[in-house]
């Protein structure tokens, strides 16, 4: 029987004769394994676990990790990994629960756990036939008229509103198409022409602007807020604080371009307001939501290259379309350094080169820690080689090119030969991963982002204020 492929209709009659046919009289524990995301746990999940358990003595359930879901493009998973594991556990069918973390793990698990039978839903029919040389494979028909995808579509959909100065998307309209549960509905701008153009360009439902009679932004903005659940603020930096504050006062979730403000105390006040209103304030730094960068941080903290002695990064401002301020460019490398070296820097310095008109064309920022140094090169009108390097006592880690938008990094360890490349599937500009995380945080009723903690954002604001004062 090894390698048999069965459908539900066949499996039902097979269960009663399972001992005789499958084990040929051997008195051995029958191990069954099945896998799934188990998002928004429903009757179909319960049924397949129940049927899988009935096919053997010992059931192993593999629950996909958040990183694996993201890697294979499932950005619409609502429940956290811990919640999905708990839902499986509560059924009482699983004798053992494991985490599925990568492509190809099924084969490794079958061998490792000495599995006799792999059970999957019929929507996977034929896709795992290659495993029939290692165990039996059963494809069970799924419970009709129910699925996680359907539940997501029928579940809560959060309306998103955009606050802007121009008619450029900046990714929010496009990226929400890849994350279930979000819909960009309307736009606000103090410039009525920009609001109307944005609305028409991206086929939104409506637009709002300043009341023509009195020129006050708040009345039109409040009308806009009444139509949305989540506000994305992409205005020029000086305007962001007022929009953030008013959105939080009216109980809206807020995503804002970074930096939200260059003043630490003002930012602390905004975070406190968000917590008081039981909503989230998220600073849009896509870098911290990328699996490659998070793995780099974890690996360096785990002494991949020994003790860290230096972090070097460089970035050219003219690589970003639509124009950016110095602070908007500097916040990216500063965030990366804080993630790796921490918030407890001892000293920060900025050395600016200006042109004959007094405009900044190049800046070298240095940060001193107790046991390490960090340097940042920012070319505002001159080109610098974009690169991110972590130097340790036992080697170095490098992200060449556009390191703030990366799907891989390279490690050179002193006692090994050549480079080791760590690669991770990556789609879009990183915003969809932020949006996915936002939905999970809302579902879990969090009031603080765990990818970029409030104190880390406050440290960024503090450093930017110091640099701008000296510049």
Statement: residue 11 has pLDDT above 50:
no
Which element (helix H / strand E) includes 396? strand 395-400
| Closest to 232 in 3D by CA, of 148, 168, 142 | 168
For residues 337 and 296, what is the distance between their CA atoms, to the nearest angstrom?
Answer: 12
Match 């009709």 to its residue by tokens.
144
Q: What percent of the chain has pLDDT over 90?
A: 54
Q: pLDDT value at position 146?
A: 62
Distance, CA of 78 to CA of 90 (rounded, Å): 19
Is it the case that residue 422 has pLDDT exceeding 70? yes
Residue 156 or 400, more confident = 400
Average pLDDT of the chain is 86
Q: Cβ atoms within 10 A of the Cβ of 64, count?
A: 24
Q: pLDDT tens-digit profile of 169-198? A: 878 888 887 787 888 999 999 999 999 999
What is the per-residue pLDDT for 8?
Answer: 47
pTM over 0.85: no
Task: Please tell me the distance from the alpha carbon of residue 444 to that of residue 69, in angstroms, as a whole number.
Answer: 18
**pLDDT of 23 strictly over 70:** no
Find the mean pLDDT for residues 63-69.
83
DSSP 8-state symbol, 427: -
Mean pLDDT over 308-326 rounds to 79
Domains present along the chain, CATH in parentheses: 5-150 (3.40.50.620), 156-286 (3.40.50.720), 291-425 (3.30.360.10)
Tens of pLDDT, residue by residue over 194-217, are: 999 999 988 888 999 987 556 678
- In 297-372, the DSSP E strands lie at 308-316, 347-354, 360-368
pLDDT at 182: 87
Task: Give the pLDDT score at 14.
Answer: 43
**Average pLDDT over every residue of 96-124:** 91
More confident residue, 51 or 8: 51
In 54-172, DSSP assigns E strands to 58-64, 96-100, 117-121, 136-140, 158-163
DSSP state of 229: S
pLDDT tens profile 225-238 = 999 999 999 999 99
| Residue 443 reports pLDDT greater than 60 | yes
Q: What pLDDT, on the 0 to 100 scale, is given for residue 201?
A: 87
Q: Write down the pLDDT at residue 153.
A: 55
* φ, ψ dihedrals at 60, nearest 5°: -105, 130
* 445 prior amide bond cis, ω within 30: no
Predicted local distance difference test score (pLDDT) of residue 127: 86
Say how far apart CA 392 and CA 78 lie, in whole Å: 38
pLDDT in tens, 134-163: 999 999 987 765 655 555 555 568 999 999
CA distance 192 to 450: 36
Provide long-range contacts, Cβ within 8 A and 24+ apart, for 380-384: 380/317, 380/318, 380/326, 380/329, 381/317, 381/318, 381/355, 382/316, 383/316, 383/318, 384/314, 384/315, 384/316
HSE of 288, CA atoms in CB hemisphere, 13 A: 25
Query: How far apart are the C-alpha atoms of 137 and 201, rounded to whole Å?
Result: 50
Mean pLDDT of 8-21: 45
Q: Measure the CA–CA gap between 32 and 25, rounded to whole angstroms.
A: 18
- Give the count of beta carbons closer than 10 Å to the beta carbon of residue 384: 16
Number of residues that this document lists for the chain: 471
Give how far Cα 125 sits from Cα of 39, 139, 416, 430, Å: 21, 6, 43, 33
pLDDT exceeds 50 at position 250: yes
- pLDDT given at position 147: 57
Overall average pLDDT of the 243-265 stretch: 96
Q: How confident is the model at residue 17 (pLDDT cuts 50, 70, 90)?
A: very low
Strand pairing report for 206-208 and 281-284: unpaired
Supply 165's token pair.
């100065």
At 364 the pLDDT is: 93
Q: Give the lowest-confidence range in 42-56, 144-158, 382-396.
A: 144-158
């Amino acid at each position: 029987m090894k390698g048999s492929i069965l459908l539900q209709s066949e499996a039902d009659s097979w269960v009663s004769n399972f001992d005789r046919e499958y084990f040929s009289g051997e008195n051995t524990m029958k191990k069954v394994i099945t896998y799934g995301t188990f998002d928004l746990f429903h009757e179909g999940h319960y049924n397949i676990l129940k049927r899988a358990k009935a096919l053997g003595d010992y059931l192993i359930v593999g629950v996909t990790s958040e990183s694996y879901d993201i890697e294979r493009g499932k950005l619409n998973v609502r429940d956290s990994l811990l919640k999905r594991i708990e839902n499986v556990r509560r059924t009482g069918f699983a004798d053992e629960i494991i985490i599925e973390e990568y492509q190809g793990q099924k084969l490794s698990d079958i061998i490792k756990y000495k599995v006799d039978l792999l059970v999957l839903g019929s929507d996977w029919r034929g896709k795992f036939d290659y495993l029939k040389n290692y165990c039996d494979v059963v494809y069970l028909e799924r419970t009709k008229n129910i699925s996680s995808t359907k539940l997501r579509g029928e579940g809560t959909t959060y309306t998103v509103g955009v606050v802007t100065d121009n008619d450029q998307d900046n990714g929010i309209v496009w990226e929400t198409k890849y994350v279930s549960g979000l819909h960009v509905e309307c736009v606000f701008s103090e410039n009525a022409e920009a609001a109307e153009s944005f609305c028409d360009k991206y086929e939104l439902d409506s637009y709002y602007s300043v009341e023509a009679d009195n020129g006050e932004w708040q009345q039109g903005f409040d009308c806009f807020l009444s139509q949305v659940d989540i506000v994305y603020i992409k205005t020029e930096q000086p305007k962001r604080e007022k929009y953030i504050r008013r959105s939080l006062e009216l109980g809206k979730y807020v995503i804002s371009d970074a930096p939200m403000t260059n003043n630490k105390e003002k930012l602390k006040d905004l975070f406190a307001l968000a917590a008081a209103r039981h909503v989230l304030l998220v600073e849009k730094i896509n870098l911290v939501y990328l699996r490659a960068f998070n793995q780099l941080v974890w690996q360096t903290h785990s002494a991949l290259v020994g003790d860290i002695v230096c972090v070097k990064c460089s970035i050219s401002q003219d690589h970003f379309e639509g124009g950016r301020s110095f602070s908007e460019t500097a916040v990216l490398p500063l965030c990366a350094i804080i993630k790796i070296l921490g918030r407890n820097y001892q000293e920060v310095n900025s050395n600016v080169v200006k042109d004959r008109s007094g405009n900044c064309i190049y800046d070298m920022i240095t940060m001193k820690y107790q046991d390490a140094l960090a340097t940042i090169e920012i070319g505002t009108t001159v080109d610098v080689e974009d690169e991110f390097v972590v130097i340790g006592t036992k080697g170095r880690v490098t992200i060449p090119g556009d390191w703030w938008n990366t799907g891989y990094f390279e490690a050179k360890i002193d006692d090994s030969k050549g480079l080791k490349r760590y690669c991770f599937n990556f789609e879009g500009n990183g915003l969809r991963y932020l949006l996915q995380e936002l939905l999970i945080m809302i579902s879990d009723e969090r009031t603080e982002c765990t990818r970029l903690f409030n104190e880390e954002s406050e440290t960024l604001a503090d450093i930017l204020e110091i640099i701008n004062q000296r510049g």
